[in-house]
């Protein structure tokens, strides 16, 4: 994510997942070879890894003071989604076409919500805001840094 933005990586992962699902809709498994399955597995692995990584990063960034609750909710909703996919896949009467179509709809909805969240985060930043510069390790604090770091009275203030 240092070389590519968070938004671009999430969109590439979501688009990869979407392409695999669309390919599964039009693919005839009787005509396929083993390399089709391997390629789909690699693409889904990349997509899921990028989406999960970006989601975790975004939660850590948005809920700095409530990380336990945020990651607990993430695990809950991921488990609920897995249970829903399992429930959709269990009935023998439901065609694979319908299951894939439902997953595509959910994926497009999630990508849209993520885009809205990124747009909202971008709007909240002020145009003149600078990113905090990384300090080199082992560098001594200057008197200006100490004046900012130390509270003026004996109270400890927490920004959270």
Q: How far apart are CA 60 and CA 103, in angstroms?
A: 26
Contact of 58 with 6, CB cutoff 8 Å: yes
- Kindly tell me the sign of the dihedral angle through the C-alpha atoms of 36, 17, 48, 24: negative
Q: Does residue 149 lie in a domain region?
A: no
Dihedrals φ, ψ of 29, to 5°? -60, -25
Contact of 30 with 116, CB cutoff 8 Å: no
Q: Which residues contact 27 (CB under 8 A, 6 or more apart)?
A: 36
Total domains, the chain: 1
Q: How far apart are CA 11 and CA 112, in angstroms?
A: 10
Q: Does residue 74 lie in a domain region?
A: yes
Q: Does residue 43 lie in a domain region?
A: yes
This prediction has a pTM of 0.67
Q: Does residue 157 lie in a domain region?
A: no
Helix, strand, coil distribution of the chain in percent, nearest 5: 70, 0, 30
Query: Domain containing 31: what range?
Result: 6-125
Q: How far apart are CA 73 and CA 85, in angstroms?
A: 18
* Residue 157 or residue 3, greater confidence: 3
Q: Please determine, for residue 152, whether its predicted confidence score (pLDDT) is greater than 80.
A: no
Q: How far apart are CA 74 and CA 52, in angstroms?
A: 10
Q: Does residue 52 lie in a domain region?
A: yes
Q: Does residue 53 lie in a domain region?
A: yes
**pLDDT of res. 151:** 46
* Residue 78 or residue 88, greater confidence: 78
Q: Does residue 1 lie in a domain region?
A: no
Residue 93 is given by DSSP the state T
Q: Does residue 98 lie in a domain region?
A: yes
Q: Please determine, for residue 70, whether its predicted confidence score (pLDDT) is greater than 50.
A: yes
- The 10s digit of each residue's pLDDT in 15-58 is 999 999 999 888 877 766 788 888 999 999 999 898 888 888 88
- Give the residue carrying structure tokens 């985060």: 121
């Amino acid at each position: 994510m240092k070389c590519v933005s968070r938004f671009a990586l999430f969109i590439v992962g979501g688009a990869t997942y979407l392409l695999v699902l669309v390919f599964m809709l039009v693919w005839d498994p009787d005509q396929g070879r083993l390399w089709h399955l391997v390629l789909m597995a690699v693409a889904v692995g990349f997509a899921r890894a990028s989406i999960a990584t970006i989601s975790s990063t975004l939660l850590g960034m948005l809920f700095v003071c409530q990380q336990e609750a945020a990651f607990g909710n993430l695990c809950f909703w991921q488990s609920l989604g897995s249970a829903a996919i399992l429930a959709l896949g269990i009935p023998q009467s439901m065609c694979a076409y319908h299951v894939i179509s439902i997953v595509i709809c959910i994926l497009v909805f999630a990508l849209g919500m993520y885009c809205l969240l990124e747009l909202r985060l971008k709007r909240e930043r002020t145009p003149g805001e600078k990113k905090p510069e990384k300090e080199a390790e082992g560098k001594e604090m200057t008197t200006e840094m100490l004046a900012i770091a130390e509270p003026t009275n004996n109270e400890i203030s927490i920004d959270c």
